[in-house]
Structure 1
Amino acid sequence: MKNYFILILLLAAFQNVQSQKTDKKQLIKELANDACSCIDSIPTYNRIKDSITANIHSCIDYRVVAYQITDQLSNIDLSDNSQEKKEIKVPINTDKNPKEYQDIYYDLERYLMENCEAIKSKVASTDKENKNSVSNNKEAMKYYELGIEESKKNNFKEAIENYKKAVKIDPNFAFAYDNMGICYRKLEQYDEAIDAYEKSLKIDPQGLLPLQNIAVAYSYKKEYKKAIKTYEKLALIEPNNPEVFYGIGQMYSMYIKDYEKGLDNMCKAYSLYVAQKSPYRTDAEKIIQMLYDQMKKDGNEKKFNEILEANNISQN
């Protein structure tokens, strides 16, 4: 199936290079837009995050191969008719470790993170059901679905009213409280958002979405130490969740101004994102670059390098 898909991309690439030499930035844009459509079609409901991330990786991976093929074809002079027969060979290295593959992959990934809304929504999806995530009550589900429709239209007040009706019918409807909290956060009513998330946690103490969002709400309230404590609670449930280290690193780096702690946590987040093939690697990368600039300005470049080395990350 993969080879068939790459063949389609190859034919499109061949037609492209016949008409004009391929511009790298334009090709990255075209392939990334195609990858965005692929990512947008990925189902997320009741799926674990690793599975969703693997699908996103596949969407990008196919386009890396298409880029390599197009780049090879663009160097072939099709106007040269000096030979009666011409053999066109396009050697493509399918090993995923070489720097060439990684550079193209990261270029596509960076473009997607800046221009494709679908990639962030899919990675951030928390539709995995637990025992009390959804309701078995049809009336409660009706109001929940109405709330989702209003949320999509940014009618957050109307959405909240529907979610309230849902939890009145079924007080153990965790997803309704989660979505209610998101709407309150969108309305900048952070105390109400935290209250909704905490009600969700009482129903499902293992809920990842409410814990992550409580931390975000505390950061908006500028209560950064409370945000860190909430991320630490999340770590007790998922110790290898990169969002824990990214969140803590962000609090220390951007707000508390403890750059060493910020860098150490951000490096841990970066390594986990890379291992999980998560596109959020690019966000961690940007903050690490910002920390480098700041620590170099403060005369702490040596400490920056020591922290990177301790986390087995090359400065390159």
Structure 2
Amino acid sequence: MKKIFLIVLITLNFSNGFSQTTEENIAKQACDCLNKNATITEEIYTSCLSSSMVDVVLKDKDIKVRESINTVEGMQNLLQKSNAVLSKTCDKISKKETESEGKKNTFYAESKNKQAQNSYIIAKDLMQDGKHKFAIESLQMALKNDPKFVLALDDIAMCYRQLNDYDNAVKYYKKSLEIFPEGDFALMNIGVVYSLKSDYKTAIIYYEKLIKYEPNNAEGYFGAGKNYFVLNDNEKALNNIFIAHRIYTENKSDYTKDTELMIGTVYQKMKTENKEDLFKKIAKENNIAIE
């Protein structure tokens, strides 16, 4: 009981320290770099962001800023945070995100095949009633009439997950991602399934894909953070969970309670390992004051 009480006592406050300015400077320079290109490929995006980070950090007179990328974890954390700022502030990227929303509307749409759509509607009612085995049969009929029906693929995977058939859940989430690689529902939930299968490294791969496609989706960071924690990589766990906490806080989400609890759990573990100073260092790098 004492440990739980200590976890609750941790108060998280955001501060406007050096790294927020650094992230903004990196994002601005990366945006200027991207604007020089007619089209943005993944290679161009990564190159602009990485080169901007190195240039901004090396030119900064504050030694703390330069020290922030002395470790792989520190470099990845700064890249993640700069990426999130870039996606919010750069018009060219915002336009790309609008296009991404357009893709979602296309792939997360009703089937144009009437028989497939009717079977899907029946399946949703069965799912609502907890009759997942019967729902699977109806979803199979939907997919027979429309094999590229993403919503049906995602829901049949969800049904298998509810039945603890994780292998089939993975199979159908992968089929969904073959059609729509950026699908946030499939990426998030396949990460959950791999966690349930205790395949934490693969879970992280999918959560990081979600982060890549949606830099402001807290679920990607929180999912990755929890899996890094299980793998005893406390530094990567904290960096991801702090970012998730910031996004949840900005969005006034109830999930801030979950991130606070997880941060408290990591703190207790690091405290028993005499790594309180490292915990505070990572918190400071994320502009979070621990009280």
TM-score bracket relative to the smaller structure: 0.5 to 0.7
The 1-side partners of 2:279 and 2:107 are apart by 45
Specify the SS of the correspondent of 2:107: coil
Cα shift readout 1:49-81 (whole Å, capped 9, x = no counterpart): xxxxxxxxxxxxxxxxxxxxxxxxxxxxxxxxx
CA drift of 1:242 comes to: 1.1
Give the structure with the higher percent helix.
2
The 2-side partners of 1:245 and 1:208 are apart by 13
Specify the SS of the correspondent of 2:140: helix
The 1-side partners of 2:270 and 2:136 are apart by 44
CA drift of 1:138 comes to: 1.8
Counterpart of 2:139 in structure 1 is 163
CA drift of 1:129 comes to: 4.9
The TM-score with structure 1 as length reference comes to: 0.58
Specify the SS of the correspondent of 2:159: helix
Greater than 3 Å deviation, 4+ residue runs: none
Q: In structure 2, what residue type is equivalent to 1:171? A: P
CA drift of 1:315 comes to: 0.9
The 1-side partners of 2:235 and 2:250 are apart by 23
Is this contact kept in 1: 2:104–2:183, CA < 8 A?
Answer: no
Aligned pairs (5 A) from 1:42-121: none
Counterpart of 2:271 in structure 1 is 296
Counterpart of 1:234 in structure 2 is 210
Counterpart of 1:202 in structure 2 is 178
Aligned pairs (5 A) from 1:154-303: 154-253=130-229, 255-303=230-278
Counterpart of 1:108 in structure 2 is none
The 1-side partners of 2:266 and 2:170 are apart by 30
Is this contact kept in 1: 2:241–2:263, CA < 8 A?
Answer: yes
Counterpart of 1:124 in structure 2 is none
Q: Compute the RMSD of aligned alpha carbons.
A: 1.6
Q: In structure 1, what residue type is equivalent to 2:263? A: I
Aligned length: 189
CA drift of 1:169 comes to: 0.7
CA drift of 1:206 comes to: 2.0
Q: In structure 2, what residue type is equivalent to 1:206? A: E
Structure with more contact order per residue of length (Cα contacts < 8 Å, sep ≥ 6): 2
% identical aligned pairs? 41
Unaligned 5+ residue runs, structure 2?
Answer: 1-102
Q: In structure 2, what residue type is equivalent to 1:205? A: P
Cα shift readout 1:91-133 (whole Å, capped 9, x = no counterpart): xxxxxxxxxxxxxxxxxxxxxxxxxxxxxxxxxxxxx953232
Counterpart of 2:23 in structure 1 is none
CA drift of 1:205 comes to: 2.1
CA drift of 1:292 comes to: 1.2
The 1-side partners of 2:122 and 2:104 are apart by 19
CA drift of 1:136 comes to: 1.5
Cα shift readout 1:235-276 (whole Å, capped 9, x = no counterpart): 2211221111101110011x2122222112111111111112
Counterpart of 1:142 in structure 2 is 118
Specify the SS of the correspondent of 2:268: helix
Q: In structure 1, what residue type is equivalent to 2:257? A: T
Counterpart of 1:130 in structure 2 is 105
The TM-score with structure 2 as length reference comes to: 0.62
